């Protein structure tokens, strides 16, 4: 079952890259008492994610944060090392990069997909959400391309 507006985010442990390498971060900790914009991509360094999705959020980050957002987070079914390298490559230092290496969070949200036909295994669907104190205010899932999960769309929903 896919998470929906008004639902509470499930508590799952993800990885982020800290000063001394990968470290655990729980979604409970990430979302508690904060307004968070989370966007998820099928894979770091993939063409649509690197050329379209991430750059929109990099360009619009200041505008999004100015709307009362505490954190912008980006998630992919990749490891923390890849997410750290992609963050540097995309000039996305303002973001919290979340590695969902085993797709546990994507699966808990009901937003996982089978990309094994492309040799990518289980991945996250492309989506964005606005979460206030752990509760989903907006969820936009893209069937194709970047539309419901774009930075522009999210900005319009804030």
* Contact by Cβ (8 Å): 69, 37: yes
Known catalytic membership, residue 49 = yes
Return the closest-CA partner of residue 53 out of 101, 18, 92: 92
Q: Choosing from 44, 49, 76, 103, which is the catalytic residue?
A: 49
Pairing of strands 13-18, 21-26: antiparallel
* Contact by Cβ (8 Å): 124, 106: yes
Q: Looking at the annotation, which residues are catalytic? A: 49
């Amino acid at each position: 079952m896919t998470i929906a507006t008004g639902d509470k985010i499930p508590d799952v442990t993800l990885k982020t890259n800290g000063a001394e390498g990968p470290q655990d971060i729980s979604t409970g900790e990430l979302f508690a008492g904060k307004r968070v914009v989370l966007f998820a991509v099928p894979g770091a360094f993939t063409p649509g994610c690197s050329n379209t999705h991430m750059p929109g959020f990099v360009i619009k980050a200041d505008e999004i944060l100015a709307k009362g957002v505490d954190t912008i987070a980006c998630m992919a079914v990749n490891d923390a090392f890849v997410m750290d390298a992609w963050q540097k490559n995309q000039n996305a230092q303002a973001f919290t990069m979340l590695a969902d290496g085993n797709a546990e969070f994507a699966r808990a949200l009901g937003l996982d997909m089978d990309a094994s036909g492309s040799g990518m295994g289980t991945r996250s669907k492309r989506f964005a959400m606005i979460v206030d104190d752990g509760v989903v205010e907006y969820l936009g899932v893209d069937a194709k391309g970047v539309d419901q999960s774009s930075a522009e769309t999210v900005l319009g929903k804030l």
